[in-house]
């Protein structure tokens, strides 16, 4: 099936009141399992690339292989660049063949966020690529990728998306979908999330484009379902996939009694566990049988 844009995929989801899972794939094997899960569930899917995984020649290798995998898939696939903060790198990814990109200037004041996002949109749209941006700021529940609490980490509640800024941001940037901050965090939670559904309702009334929720890993299922009913059309997942993968890998290495184990054998149960997370998330967000 041909690659699709995030705009077409999410507009359909918004109209029919379901959500599409967006899964980061750091390796080709991860991407393969994501696509397998989507095909089994007959679900559209968004596969995301992360900047640290795409440095140097890896950008060419990743996008070349992923485009081929996506084109052979029996379900709609969007290849999306997740959380780019470097404009030159974003433009390079557009040139290399991503169908969608995210430019995250959410740490800047509103006017600078608008200016930078507009530049990304103008470049991407000229190449037929759609753009996600972020308004407000989704916090981080981890410190430098390590599983430990940071007592001074930015509380996401302090950075909720401001409804008074939303229409201006969308109108002036021309962005295709928007990540909103309503109480979730990236990474592994060190505090139990509590979503601000009143704020999400208000944002949904204002927004003319599909809304995105980052920090889907670890957010309680009932809150995710409620958020989808209130307008969330794309849910980002990564940390839960990694936890499942590394949990099984750790068991395998401990059981083997040696570190000289074939990679295919070491990864077998790890990738199956990762795939199971994707299958469960597809059911959770309601995209099964929507391909």
The tens digit of pLDDT for each residue in 65-93 reads 999 999 999 999 999 999 999 999 999 99
Q: pLDDT tens digits for 36-70?
A: 999 999 999 999 999 999 999 999 999 999 999 99
- What is the set of active-site residues? 82
Q: Is residue 264 part of a domain?
A: no
Q: How confident is the model at residue 243 (pLDDT cuts 50, 70, 90)?
A: very high
Number of structural domains in the chain = 1
Q: Is residue 150 part of a domain?
A: yes
Q: Is residue 255 part of a domain?
A: no
Q: Is residue 263 part of a domain?
A: no
Sign, Cα dihedral of 95, 107, 189, 55: positive
In this structure, of 56-70, 145-159, 253-267, 271-285, the range with the lowest mean pLDDT score is 145-159
Q: pLDDT tens digits for 119-163?
A: 999 999 999 999 999 998 776 554 434 444 444 444 455 689 999
Closest C-alpha to 235, from 20, 11, 86, 75: 20
The domain containing residue 29 runs over which residues?
Answer: 6-244+278-285
Residues 6+ apart with CB under 8 A from 222: none
Please check the confidence at residue 2 and state whether its pLDDT lies above 90. no
This prediction's pTM: 0.92
Q: What is the pLDDT of residue 141?
A: 54
Q: Is residue 261 part of a domain?
A: no
Counting residues of the chain whose pLDDT is more than 90, the rounded percentage is 81
Q: Is residue 269 part of a domain?
A: no
Burial class of 250 by CB neighbour count within 10 A (0 to 12, 13 to 18, 19+): exposed
Q: What is the domain-level CATH number for residue 207?
A: 3.20.20.70
Counting residues of the chain whose pLDDT is more than 70, the rounded percentage is 90
Q: Is residue 272 part of a domain?
A: no
Q: Is residue 73 part of a domain?
A: yes
Task: Give the span between the Cα atoms of 178 and 213, in whole angstroms.
Answer: 9
């Amino acid at each position: 099936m041909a690659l699709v844009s995030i705009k077409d995929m999410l507009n359909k989801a918004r109209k029919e009141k379901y959500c599409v899972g967006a899964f980061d794939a750091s390796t080709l094997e991860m991407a393969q399992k994501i696509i397998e899960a989507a095909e089994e569930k007959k679900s559209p899917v968004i596969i995301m690339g992360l900047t640290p995984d795409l440095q140097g020649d890896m950008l060419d290798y990743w996008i070349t292989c992923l485009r081929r995998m996506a084109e052979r898939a029996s379900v709609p696939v969007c290849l999306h660049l997740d959380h780019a903060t470097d404009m030159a790198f974003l433009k390079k990814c557009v040139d290399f063949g991503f169908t969608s990109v995210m430019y995250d200037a959410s740490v800047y004041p509103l006017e600078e966020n608008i200016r930078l996002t507009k530049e990304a949109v103008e470049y991407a749209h000229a190449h037929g690529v759609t753009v996600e941006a972020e308004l407000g700021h989704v916090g981080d529940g981890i410190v430098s990728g390590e599983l430990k609490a940071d007592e001074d980490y930015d509380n996401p509640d302090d950075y909720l998306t401001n409804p008074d800024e939303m229409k201006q941001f969308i109108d002036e940037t021309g962005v295709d979908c928007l990540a909103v901050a309503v109480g979730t965090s990236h990474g592994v939670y060190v505090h139990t999330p509590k979503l601000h559904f009143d704020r999400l309702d208000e944002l949904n009334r204002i927004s003319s484009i599909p809304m995105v929720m980052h920090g889907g890993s670890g957010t309680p299922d009932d809150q995710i379902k409620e958020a989808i009913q209130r307008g969330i059309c794309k849910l980002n997942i990564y940390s839960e996939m990694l936890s499942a993968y590394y949990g099984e890998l750790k068991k395998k290495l401990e059981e083997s009694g040696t570190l000289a184990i074939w990679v295919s054998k070491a990864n077998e149960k790890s990738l199956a566990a990762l795939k199971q997370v994707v299958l469960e998330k597809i059911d959770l967000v309601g995209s099964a049988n929507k391909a």
